[in-house]
Amino acid sequence: MVRFRLVREPLVIDTDFRVRDMNSTMINWFGDQRGNICYESIAGNDALCSHCKLQDVIVQGKTIHYRPSAPDGRVFDVVAVPIETPECTFKLEIIYDITEREEAKFKLLETNNQLEKSLTEIKELSASLESRVQQQTMEIQQNYHRLEQKKQEIEKKNIALQVLVDQQRGTREELAQQMAIRLKKLVYPYLELLREDVKDDQKNECLSVLRMHLDSVMKPIDEKLYNPGWQLTPREVLAADLVRQGKSTRDIGKMLNISPRTAERYRNNIRKKIGLNNRKTSLHAYLNSMF
């Protein structure tokens, strides 16, 4: 709270600018100047004070409110009132010392200016940060789109690569099947015939070892070429392969060194095991459709 002091006794000035009376506070401030010219003794001026209202108060009879400053920097709030007596007319001033209040007002104004300046700086900083955030957000979105494009490109390449891998796998499987077919067509029948014709135990042992190694190579291929649900015997597998090649029952008998009746029995067993009960359906065509 700003405190200000009320001068309880009036300062009285005549029309000739002489101090007629002073209260104790004024005397304490400026010394006893009664009888002296006010603007010389109190204000320290050689001429009338610029803020002097004596003529307006006395001549025009106005009550005037103004705020003069003292040489030492103090500020006063003054109410000047004209007083008429039978003897003369003089000016009565009621004075408040508002120096502290004005200083507080100035500090408040200065603080307000600083706050406004700080607020402006905060707004500018906020705008700058918002701009940076928007720019960074835009950069993140652009990077995200670029990553999405690269991801799509990689996915397309992966799909193309997978197609190539599948094609190569299919090619390998096809080659393996062709190899298995050729082995069964060109090697196995003659290997079996050799085993039946060779009487030497040592040679038969060599043929058995050869057959064992061929079987180990052919096992994964056989699992794909021949349905395990059929449960064909090795001799029936050979017979089925010869039927698929278009060999007659007589040819099969000769190649497998068996009688035509046995070869026919193989054909019948193959039909039963693969579920081909319709005699009108060609076993040769059916086996070729399977492989």
Question: What is the β-pairing status of strands 89-97 and 19-21?
Answer: unpaired
**pLDDT computed for residue 87 by the predictor:** 67
Burial (0-12, 13-18, 19+ Cβ within 10 Å), 116: exposed
Domain count, the chain: 2
pTM for the complete prediction?
0.35
In DSSP notation, 44-93 reads --SS--TT--HHHHHTS---EEE--B-TTS-BEEEEEEEEE-SS-EEEEE
Whether 111 is in a domain gets the answer no
Q: How far apart are CA 143 and CA 156, in angstroms?
A: 20
CATH number at residue 60: 3.30.450.20
> Residue 14 in contact with residue 27, Cβ under 8 Å?
no
User: How far apart, in whole angstroms, are the C-alpha atoms of residue 201 and residue 199?
Assistant: 6
Determine, yes or no, domain membership for 125. no
Same domain as 286, residue 189: yes
Would you say residue 86 lies in a domain? yes
- Where in the sequence is the domain holding 217, given as residue range(s)? 175-290
For tokens 């405190």, name the residue. 3
Which among 190, 186, 173 is positioned nearest to 291, based on CA atoms? 173
What distance in Å separates the CA atoms of residue 280 and residue 291, rounded to the nearest whole number?
20
Q: Please tell me what DSSP assigns to residue 21.
A: E
Residue 103 lies in a domain: no
- For 212-247, give the DSSP string: HHHHHHHHHHHHHHS-TTT---HHHHHHHHHHHTT-
**41: its two tokens:** 């003794």
Q: Is residue 116 part of a domain?
A: no
DSSP 18: B
Measure the CA–CA gap between 27 and 157, rounded to whole angstroms: 103
Name residues whose C-beta falls within 8 Å of residue 70's C-beta, 6 or more positions apart in sequence: 29, 43, 76
Is residue 27 within 8 Å of 44, Cβ to Cβ?
no
Q: Which amino acid is at 108?
A: L
Inside any domain, residue 142: no
From first to last of its 291 residues, the chain has per-residue pLDDT tens of 223 334 444 577 777 888 888 877 778 877 888 889 888 887 788 888 777 777 777 767 778 787 777 777 788 787 877 777 776 666 667 777 788 888 888 899 999 999 999 999 999 988 888 889 999 989 999 999 999 999 998 988 888 888 887 777 767 767 766 776 666 666 766 677 677 776 777 777 776 777 777 776 666 555 444 555 677 887 888 788 888 888 899 988 888 888 999 989 999 998 888 888 888 888 888 888 765
Comparing C-alpha atoms, which of 195, 24, 281 is closest to residue 290? 281
The pLDDT score that the predictor gives to residue 5 is 39
Domain end position, chosen among 97, 113, 129: 97
Within-domain flag for 149: no
Cα–Cα distance, 116 to 45 (Å, whole number): 40
End-to-end CA distance of the chain: 109
C-alpha–C-alpha distance, residues 175 and 182, integer Å: 10
> Of 63, 97, 131, which residue sits at a domain end?
97
Single residue among 40, 69, 97 that ends a domain in this structure: 97
The tokens of 263 are what? 């070869």
